[in-house]
Every structure is written in C-alpha cells, then in structure tokens.
Amino acid sequence: MKTLTVIYWSRVGLGVIAAVVCAALNIQNFLTSLSLGMLVYLVTNYVFRWKFAVKVGETSKLATIGIGAYFITWFVTWILLYTLLHPLG
C-alpha cells in the first residue's frame, strides 16, 4: 500500500478509536468531545510527520490527508455510541 493510503485509513481508524474513548469517558458535552477528537488528531499528526515526512515530502499533505474522513468518522461513531448508551426516556 502507498504511504498516503496507509495514513488515510489510519485516520479513519483513529476517528473510531477517538469516538470510543469519548463514549467510554461518558463525555456528554459536544465541545469537550470535539476538543478530545481534535487533540487526538493533532497528536497523531505530529506522529505521522515524524514517521512519514521523508516518504511523502510535503508536510502540508500529511496534515490534510484524511482530515475529513477522520472527523466524519469520529462524529458519526460518537453520535451512534452516545445514542446507544443514553437512550431517550
């Protein structure tokens, strides 16, 4: 697999993991959960820069590849888990 493909799918998986962590910590506030999701993204961005900067070349590409997939996956998974763990009524 190409390096950018690995980074993209890693970000999708990390979005799921970040949402599971938010649900496991019982974070009910959206902004707090979003902050944790952004923190996970920023930390992994530095890890990816450290590990893959030589292979990719452009560090700006490392920051943007998979950002949409990460946050959409995180948001959908967090809403799904929140709904399952806190049903109405």
Taking only the tens place, the pLDDT of each residue in 21-62 is 999 998 888 899 999 999 999 999 999 999 988 888 777 888
How does residue 15 score in pLDDT terms, banded at 50, 70 and 90? very high
- Is the Cβ–Cβ distance between 74 and 17 less than 8 Å? no
Most confident of 2-11, 51-60, 68-77: 68-77
Domain count for the chain, please give it: 1
Domain containing residue 80 = 3-85
How does residue 89 score in pLDDT terms, banded at 50, 70 and 90? low
Annotate 31-60 with b (16+ C-beta within 10 A) or e (fewer): eebbebbeebbeebbeebeeebeeebeeee
